[in-house]
Amino acid sequence: MWGARWSVIGGAWSEAMFGAQTMADRRSARAHAHGASNLGHMSTSAANNEYAAAAEAIAALDEGTKVAVVSGASSGIGEATARTLAEQGFHVVVGARRFERVSALAEEIGGTAAPLDVTNTDQVAALAEALGRVDVLVNNAGGAKGQSSIMDADIEQWRWMWETNVLGTLHMLRALMPKLIASGDGLVVTITSVAALEAYDNGSGYTTAKTAESVLHRTLRGEFLGEPVRFTEIVPGLVETEFSLVRFEGDAEKAAKPYQGLQPLVAEDVAEVVGFVASRPAHVNLDRIDIKPRAQHSAQRAYRE
């Protein structure tokens, strides 16, 4: 029910926002502009083999083992969150475009790896079909591209940010929500950003995408009120990960600047908060948690030495 309804909404929204291109056309354009992901080198049959292996791994779990799915788990907050949840006893399904990374991570933490580009509805559907049980979903896949004024904005960068942060989260939610509810105590954790809380110059592609992702998450909190599923939005400030390196397309000097003059958060700081949320009793819903370095006041204001 949810999948069919949201699929139509997502498709119409994407077309209205960005024009009537096919998804394949858009992915081709992104690959040309930003470099092909590792999944571009994985054949469909190879990916299907991985989903089949994931299905076998989940089916073999003890009946009481809880399953957590973490998107964007190849580095940073996603990787750290996967480690934290594994330490808490969850069987963690780690998904990302960089499959070789999540494969190594899964082996290390005793979890399961899956090829996952959240903008690819076929992959999201295949992952959902492979998983017999889902107790926790951590929507972590996302990111920023570029930094420019609205008038100078690169539309391909905007498209990437909206499709990854907003529609990617939508795809994961519509695919896994039935299983989260069926678990009897589902939990959705969505990692947004302080960029969702304010508007600032030269950042509108990211701020609008993260604001939309936040609204999507909060809307679901109301739409599924009364169902056995909880929703927590985690709103990080400055976290030193690969985020800025991706945003500035590998320019290490630019990527380092946001973290200079203060002590930023690290991925483990955010992961510990996710772990805390996941360990709360079923009747406790932590709606939103903001987490910033002590020296950071807002997205644009910080004390730097």
Which residues are marked as active site? Answer: 206
Q: Give the per-residue SS3 of the chain.
A: CHHHHHHHHHHHHHHHHHCCCCHHHHHHHHHHHHCCCHHHHCCHHHHHHHHHHHHHHHHCCCCCCCEEEEECCCCHHHHHHHHHHHHCCCEEEEEECCHHHHHHHHHHHCCEEEECCCCCHHHHHHHHHHCCCCCEEEECCCCCCCCCCCCCCCHHHHHHHHHHHHHHHHHHHHHHHHHHHHCCCEEEEEECCHHHCCCCCCCHHHHHHHHHHHHHHHHHHHHCCCCCEEEEEEEECCECCCHHHHHCCCCHHHHHHHHCCCCCECHHHHHHHHHHHHCCCCCCCCCEEEECCCCECCCCCECCC
Q: Which residues pair with 217 in a beta bridge?
A: none
User: 43: exposed, middle or buried (C-beta count within 10 Å: 0-12, 13-18, 19+)?
Assistant: exposed
